[in-house]
Amino acid sequence: MKLDKDQIRMVIALFVVASIAAVLLATTDIITREPIAAAQKAALHQALQQVLPEHSNDPQNDKITLGQDDAAVVIYPAKDAAGHIAGMAWEVVAPDGYSGSVRILVGVRPDDSVFAIRVTQHQETPGLGDGIVKNDGWLADFVGQNLSSKQWKVKKDGGDFDQFTGATITPRAVVKAVKGALEFFKQQKTVIFARLTTAEADHKTGGAHE
């Protein structure tokens, strides 16, 4: 099919517009990629400071990864000045929040107890389910607990953790997810410490281990 001059001009115009749009998108991505990455790293640093014991290292630099793809778990260790592991943190996801998934950073001590937890992302209703972020007393109930020290359910289900007035689903989901994190740590503790020891040796010899 032969195109007339108007059709050719239209095709050229569309091509130019599409090319300019592609260049603008690529440029925007290049310009914003590093600032976004830096902001994400800073936000994670702040969250890690809240859920890890006092430490002398950079947990993000010393992280290890267990598993692959969707099953990968990134673990951020806290080490004292002598290089001893004082605790570690990783993120768990509670898929069964009232309004969607809840992402939780869980900090754990080597003795299998919770140091602290912080919710890093949620979609819960303000004034109800968002108590998982704003209710400091409720968050403090997790501190120092291990698998045997509490009934890991909300009180409505016969457990030891409070629910919020008018909101049970969200606290239930968080309690279940934190319990799952402790179960994971109990199962993988030997592997985690072995990996951290290997990673430390690799750092000292200039190797890389991930």
pLDDT, one tens digit per residue, over 3-15 is 567 777 777 888 8
Dihedral of alpha carbons 129, 133, 135, 139, sign:
positive
Query: What confidence score (pLDDT) does residue 36 get?
Result: 52
Tell me whether residue 21 is in a domain. no
Tell me whether residue 10 is in a domain. no
With cut-offs at 50, 70 and 90, classify the pLDDT of residue 159: very high
| Whole-structure pTM value | 0.76
Query: What confidence score (pLDDT) does residue 97 get?
Result: 81
Tell me whether residue 11 is in a domain. no
Query: What confidence score (pLDDT) does residue 91 get?
Result: 95
Tell me whether residue 108 is in a domain. yes
For 151-179, letters b (16+ CB in 10 Å) and e give ebbbeeeebebbbbeebbbbbbbbbbbbb
Query: What confidence score (pLDDT) does residue 209 get?
Result: 45
Average pLDDT over residues 71-79: 94
- Name which of 49, 53, 63, 162 is nearest 114 in CA terms: 53
pLDDT exceeds cutoff 80 at 148: yes
Q: Count up the domains in the chain and report the number.
A: 1
Tell me whether residue 37 is in a domain. no
Domain that holds residue 181: 52-205
How many Å apart are CA 208 and CA 158, to the nearest integer? 47
User: CB–CB of 195/210 below 8 Å?
Assistant: no
Tell me whether residue 7 is in a domain. no
Q: Where are the alpha helices (DSSP H) in the chain?
A: 5-51, 131-134, 136-140, 169-205
Residue pLDDT, tens place only, 79-117:
999 999 999 999 999 988 877 888 999 999 999 999 999
Tell me whether residue 90 is in a domain. yes
The winner for highest mean pLDDT among 67-81, 92-106, 140-154 is: 140-154
With cut-offs at 50, 70 and 90, classify the pLDDT of residue 176: very high
3-state secondary structure 95-108: CCCCCCCEEEEEEE
